[in-house]
Amino acid sequence: MHNFKELKVWQKARIMVKDVYLMTQPFPKEELFGLTSQMRRSAVSIAANIAEGCGRGTNAQLAHFLDIAQGSSCELETLIILALDLGYITDEVFFDMSLKVNEIQRMNIGFKNTLGIH
């Protein structure tokens, strides 16, 4: 088993959760149960699935949860684009958050590749 707290990808995903919560605080109140909630849940899902996979017994199970985390990262990336489209975030915030999500995606793929599961 892997200690998720020692994984750089999990550490960055954890920071991303805080970033998303802070980014969505000024969103319109009518988005609280819409885009705000969805963005927060997808960010939490990335870190949570990496951790859950690390607690599983096999590399194949870990790889499965890394796939779920990857899907959640793509969901978050889409929601960040939508937030830009709706004028809820600036181009600068969009660029910064996109870079962070893309880095987590690359790290997640790299970690999965070390498991020898295809």
Whether residue 90 lies inside any domain: the answer is: yes
Query: How many domains does one find in the chain?
Result: 1
Q: What is the pLDDT of residues 65-91, one digit of tens each?
A: 999 999 999 999 999 999 999 999 999
Contact 105, 73 (CB under 8 A): yes
Type of residue found at 4: F
Whether residue 30 lies inside any domain: the answer is: no
Q: What is the pLDDT of residues 2-55, one digit of tens each?
A: 899 999 999 999 999 999 999 999 999 999 999 999 999 999 999 999 999 999
Q: DSSP state, 7?
A: -
- List the one residue out of 77, 86, 78 whose CA is nearest residue 104: 77
Whether residue 41 lies inside any domain: the answer is: yes
Alpha helices in the chain, H assignment, sequence order = 8-24, 35-54, 59-85, 91-114
Whether residue 82 lies inside any domain: the answer is: yes
List the CATH number of the domain containing 50: 1.20.1440.60
Whether residue 84 lies inside any domain: the answer is: yes
Angle (CA) 87 93 96, round 5°: 145
Mean pLDDT of the chain: 96
Burial readout 9-37 (b: 16 or more C-beta within 10 A, e: otherwise):
bbebbbebbebbeebbeebeeebeeebbe
pTM of structure: 0.94
Domain that holds residue 62: 4-25+35-114
